[in-house]
Every structure is written in C-alpha cells, then in structure tokens.
C-alpha cells in the first residue's frame, strides 16, 4: 500500500501525526508531510487509521499490486 | 471517496423503513435541554430509530434537519455543499429577530462562519501556531500551571474546593492567554462576558452588548500590539499581516475572539465533566492512575462520551442534496448533532457506557471536515496533564455533593458544570 497526501486540502488538524509520528509529520505551517509513503507492518495499520481519522480528506490509501 | 458517494452509501445503509425519514418524529423543540451528564436526550434515540436524519422544530421557531447518525454526520460535515456561514437565512439557532439578524450581518465573520477558499486561507494563516510539535513544546509550561493550581488547592485548610474555580477554568484560561498574548489579569473581565454569550437563554440585546464590549477590548489590545510588537500568537499574526501590507484589524479581532472563547470555555467544561466521569467510575479511574499510558485513549473516550459542543456543528445547504431517502433543499438548515453521532450504537458499542479502553478516536467531539477544531492537540494535552496530575497528587479526591445537586449547564451551547464541589 501507498499513502497519498493532498496538501491542498490539508487543514493541519494534526490527527495523522498523533496517530503515527513515524509516518506523518507537519511542516512549520501545519501542512502534512509524509515521512514515508510506504509504511509497513504496524505502521501500515496505523496509517490506515490516520486516513480514516483525517477530517479534511487529504489522506488516502492506494492499494498496490502484491498487497495482501 | 467522493463526497456524494459516501453520502449515498450512508443513506442506503440506514434503517429507514417508512417515509418517516422526511417527516417529524418528535414534537420536542431543539436543542432539547441536556440534564444529567450521564444520559443523552431521549429524542436522539427517537430520531435514530427511524433514520439518521429527521426534521425538527428549533427553539427559534424555525425548522431544521437534525442528523443523529455518526456516518451521515461525518459525511455532511465534510461536504462542501453545506455552508457554515451564520449570516445565511435559516442558519440553525440564529435568532429570527430582524434587529439581531442585522447585527449579525454587519459583523465580520470569524473562521467558524467561513466557507471554501476564504476559510482555507484564514485557517492556513493560523495552522502553523497549532502544530503537534509546537503544542508539545508547551507541555512543561502547562504542567507547571496545573501543578501551581493544585498546590493552591492543597494549601487550603478546609480540604475542599469548587473545582471549576480552582482548576477547570483557570488552567485553560491561563494557557490560552499566554498563547494568544492576552493579559491574564483581564480574565475575570472576559470570562464574565463569554459565559452568557454561550447560553441559548441570553437575550439578543444582551448578546449584542457583550459582543461589542469584547470587540472593543480585543481591538484595543491589537492596537497596542501593533505599536509594541509581542512574540505571541496575536503579536505574530499582527506582525505578519503588517509586513505583508494586509493588516486587517476587524478580522484579527474576530479571530482573537474565537480563539479566546473556544480556547478556555470548552477545555474547562471537559475538565469538570471528565473529573465527574472518572470519579463515578472508580475502577476505570484506577486503571489510568496505575498506567498513565492509558490516559490518552481515556481522554478520547471522555471527549466522545460528553461531546460538549453538541450543536456547534450546524450548516445550511447551498444546493439540493440527496441524503439517502431524504432530500435536503437548498437553504435548509441542518444540525449535525455531535452528541448523537458519538452515541450512535452502530459505531460505538454500548455507547452510553464509559469504557476508557474502547478506542474512541473517531468521535466527532472536535467536529469533522474542514472546520475540525484547530486547537484539538492543545485540548488533548491539557486534559491528559490535568487528569494525570490531579489524581496522582490528590488521590483521595471525591465529589462533595450528590450528583443531582451539581449545577450542569443544560441551556448552553457548550455543556459543562457551573460549579463542582470536591473534597479530599
């Protein structure tokens, strides 16, 4: 899986960073920054949760070939 | 997922079996009074039995759609076809009195009442002030503030206090004052004004007077910071606008007003209710006392359970929108009830039970969509620090009055406790 971040709609709520700071960070202006686009294992699980929690719809999960 | 698709799915999945989805299911006037903190209005359940959405009559005499389901509520809050502009006709809870309406039209709207690009631009100018990293930097100072107030409680000889006055209100108030750069010495002044502003029952004339008084106060403060720059949130916003040649006193006043009110009343109420909730569930309180790592998820559950800003999430449809079987017409008012959404049994099992370990982060206590609370990271941190510190330092804390005798704010836009007698 791959995580996509649409920085145009991000509202800087910070929910993603709270969910997994190893995957998500914020620029100084509050906009989301992906530390990795391809989280694995537990981090992948938490990244999916972050996508669910994101209030602005800025985050999405893209399933890739080979994903189980 | 496209916004419309998610709404259609919700509607189809709803349990609507009759045409009741578009009719009235209750004669009650909304918002209905919220009594005891441990029960949600029966009307929410009544609505949900038919459909996640129903038309209701508001106390203003108008009608509005009331959304009581979690999934539909989130979908509508994320849907840009619904406007947050409180100046629009039919915006829920706004008085129908022509004089009050004119006052509102003449007033600049804060971020809370903006839509689309205007909202995004205003929020973006402020977002950097509330990043998770920046908020984490405030932790030591917040801890210090909490400790000082608990020191004061412990130094009193009578071993009892009104927790609202001793802790719930001063802590977030001091925190937001320092963050914004508002002199804390003035807190009695603005707290005396913001309290009545948040009540349904405050008459329009009084509301207008209060608003004017606060605007004058904040305007003067902003003028002072323009002449004597300060390194705080307001100071930095002023300097930034000044440097860019976009200094806008009126919009700064409404921003300062929004942050000041939202920043202390809400957290204060959550502190009081959270303490009541924890004291009424000693087994669960013991769990977070023994393991502070359990406090952050516990805070999420308390936020969900009490969802204090039940009806702040209101909108007006800007075009016809189909929500399942229900057609919302352009111009219709819609209230997305946060409390009802957060007690939706299809999303939260046994929702009327406090379960600190349930994992409740998908609650909508901070709203959802582009307007979700900008200060949520700060609020979470304040609540975590207060609960951890209070019960560690005063382990024998107990309510000093029966639950029935505690005055809860049943007529306020933000639910909470007026007073909270505690002893140790």
Cβ distance A14 to B376 under 8 Å?
A: yes
| Closest residue to B132, CB basis, from A11, A18, A57 | A18
Asked if B141 and B178 count as a contact pair (C-beta separation under 8 A), the reply is yes
The band of B16, judged by pLDDT with boundaries at 50, 70 and 90, is: very low
Query: What are the chain A neighbours of B369 within 8 Å (beta carbons)?
Result: 55-56
Which residue of chain A has the CA closest to B360?
A53
* DSSP type of residue B417: B
Percent of chain A with pLDDT over 70: 97
- Domain-located, residue A11: yes
Q: Is residue A35 part of a domain?
A: yes
**Parallel, antiparallel, or unpaired for β B314-317 and B82-83?**
antiparallel
pLDDT (0 to 100) of residue B1:
34
Banded model confidence at residue B2, pLDDT cuts 50, 70, 90: very low
Q: With contact defined as beta carbons under 8 Å apart, do B346 and B112 qualify?
A: no
Partners of A19 on chain B (C-beta within 8 Å) are 361
Computed over every residue of chain B, the mean pLDDT equals 91
Instruction: Give A14's contacts in chain B (Cβ within 8 Å).
Output: 130-132, 135, 376-377
Count of the separate structural domains present in chain A: 1
Residues of B in contact with A28 (CB under 8 A): 128, 131
Question: For position A49, what pLDDT does the model report?
Answer: 97
Find all residues with CB under 8 Å of B211, minimum gap 6, and list them. B103, B107, B197
The secondary structure of residue A63, as a DSSP letter, is: -
**Predicted confidence (pLDDT) at residue B7 exceeds the cutoff of 60:** no
**CB-based contact, A62 to chain B, within 8 Å:** no
* Closest listed residue to residue B277, CA positions, set B171, B143, B383, B361: B383
Do A11 and B123 touch, CB atoms closer than 8 A?
A: yes
* Cα–Cα nearest to B66, from B311, B245, B345, B388: B311
Residue A44 lies in a domain: yes
Q: CB under 8 Å to B322, separation ≥6 — which residues?
A: B7, B8, B11, B328
Residue A67 in any domain: the answer is no
DSSP notation for B286-308? HHHHH-GGGHHHHHHHHHHHH-S
Indicate whether B6 pLDDT > 50.
no
Strand partners, B410: none
Q: Which of B51, B36, B75, B40 is nearest to B315 (CA)?
A: B75
User: How far away is chain A from the Cα of B116, in angstroms, using its nearest Cα?
Assistant: 10
Residue in A closest to B76 by C-alpha: A55
Contacts of B376 in chain A (CB under 8 A): 13-15
Are A14 and B369 in contact (CB < 8 Å)? no
Report the DSSP beta bridge partners of residue B324: none
Buried b (16+ CB within 10 A) or exposed e, A29-38: ebbbebeeee
State the smallest CA–CA distance between residue A50 and chain B in angstroms: 10
Decide if A12 and B123 are in contact by the 8 Å CB cutoff: yes
What local confidence, expressed as pLDDT, does residue B22 receive? 47
Q: Looking at beta carbons, which residues of chain B come within 8 Å of A21? A: 132
CB contact under 8 A, A29 and B374: no
Check which CATH number belongs to the domain holding A43 and give it: 3.30.70.20
Shortest alpha-carbon distance between residue B399 and chain A (Å): 33
Complex-level ipTM: 0.96
* Mean pLDDT value across residues B173-181: 95
Q: What is the pLDDT of residues B375-412, one digit of tens each?
A: 999 999 999 999 999 999 999 999 999 999 999 998 78
Cβ separation B127–A9 shorter than 8 A: no
User: Where are chain B's structural domains?
Assistant: 3-423
In a domain, A55, yes or no: yes
Q: Which of B182, B78, B179 is nearest to B131 (CA)?
A: B179
The confidence score (pLDDT) of residue B264 equals 85
CB–CB contact A55 B374 (8 Å): no
Cα B296 to Cα B274: distance, rounded to the nearest angstrom: 13
Joined together, the tokens standing for residue B349 give: 């099992």
pLDDT higher than threshold 70 for residue B132: yes
CB contact under 8 A, A28 and B373: no
**Residue A68 included in any domain:** no
Cβ contacts (< 8 Å) between B111 and chain A: which residues?
none
Tokens for A5, please give them. 């971040």
CATH entry, B3-423, from 1.10.10.10, 3.10.560.10, 1.10.630.10, 3.90.79.10: 1.10.630.10
Distance, C-alpha A66 to centroid of its chain = 20
Region B283-296 average pLDDT: 95
**Min CA distance, A66 vs chain B (Å)?**
22
A63 at the B interface (CB within 8 A)? no
Q: Does A61 touch chain B (CB under 8 A)?
A: no
pLDDT of residue B17: 36
Domain span including residue A44: 2-62
A33 Cα to chain B: minimum distance (Å):
12
Q: What are the residues of chain B with a beta carbon less than 8 Å away from any beta carbon of chain A? A: 1, 77-78, 120, 123-124, 127-133, 135, 361-362, 366-370, 372-374, 376-377, 380
Residue B8 predicted with pLDDT over 60:
no
pLDDT tens digits, B308-344: 999 999 999 999 999 999 999 999 999 999 999 999 9
């Amino acid at each position: 899986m791959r995580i996509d971040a649409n920085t145009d709609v991000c509202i800087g709520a910070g929910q993603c960073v709270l969910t997994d700071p190893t995957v998500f960070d914020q620029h100084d202006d509050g906009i989301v920054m992906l530390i990795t686009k391809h989280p694995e294992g537990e981090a992948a699980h938490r990244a999916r949760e972050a996508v669910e929690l994101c209030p602005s719809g800025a985050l999405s999960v893209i399933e890739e070939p080979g994903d189980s | 997922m496209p916004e419309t698709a998610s709404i259609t799915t919700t509607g189809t999945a709803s349990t609507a079996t009759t045409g009741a989805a578009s009719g009235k299911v209750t004669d009650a006037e909304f918002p209905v009074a919220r009594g005891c903190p441990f029960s949600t209005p029966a009307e929410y359940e009544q609505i949900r039995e038919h459909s996640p959405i129903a038309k209701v009559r508001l106390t203003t005499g108008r009608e509005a759609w009331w959304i009581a389901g979690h999934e539909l509520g989130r979908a509508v809050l994320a849907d840009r076809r619904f406007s947050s502009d409180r100046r629009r006709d039919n915006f829920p809870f706004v008085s129908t009195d022509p004089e009050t309406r004119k006052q509102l039209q003449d007033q600049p709207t804060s971020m809370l009442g903006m839509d689309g690009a205007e909202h995004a631009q205003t929020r973006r100018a402020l977002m950097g002030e509330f990043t998770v990293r920046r908020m984490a930097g405030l932790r030591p100072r917040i801890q210090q503030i909490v400790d000082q107030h608990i020191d004061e409680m412990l130094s009193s000889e009578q071993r009892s206090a009104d927790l609202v006055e001793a802790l719930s209100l001063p802590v977030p108030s001091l925190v937001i004052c320092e963050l914004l750069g508002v002199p804390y010495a003035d807190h009695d002044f603005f707290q005396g004004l913001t309290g009545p502003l948040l009540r349904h029952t405050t008459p329009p004339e009084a509301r207008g007077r209060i608003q004017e008084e606060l605007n004058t106060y904040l305007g003067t403060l902003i003028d002072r910071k323009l002449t004597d720059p300060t390194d705080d949130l307001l100071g930095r916003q002023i300097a930034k606008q000044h440097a860019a040649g976009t200094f806008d006193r009126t919009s700064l006043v409404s921003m300062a007003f929004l942050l000041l009110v939202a920043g202390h009343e809400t957290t204060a109420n959550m502190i009081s209710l959270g303490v009541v909730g924890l004291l009424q569930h000693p087994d669960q309180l013991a769990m977070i006392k023994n393991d502070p790592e359990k406090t952050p998820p516990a805070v999420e559950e308390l936020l969900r359970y009490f969802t204090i800003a039940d009806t702040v999430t209101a909108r007006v449809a800007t075009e016809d929108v189909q929500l399942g079987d229900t057609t919302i017409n352009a111009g219709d008012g819609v209230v997305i009830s946060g409390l009802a959404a957060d007690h939706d049994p299809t999303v939260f099992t046994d929702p009327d039970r406090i379960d600190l370990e349930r994992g409740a982060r998908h609650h909508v206590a901070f709203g959802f969509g582009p307007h979700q609370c900008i200060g949520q990271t700060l609020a979470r941190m304040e609540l975590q620090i207060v609960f951890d510190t209070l019960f560690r330092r005063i382990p024998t804390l107990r309510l000093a009055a029966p639950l029935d005798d505690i005055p809860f704010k049943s007529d306020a836009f933000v639910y909470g406790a007026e007073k909270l007698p505690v002893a140790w």
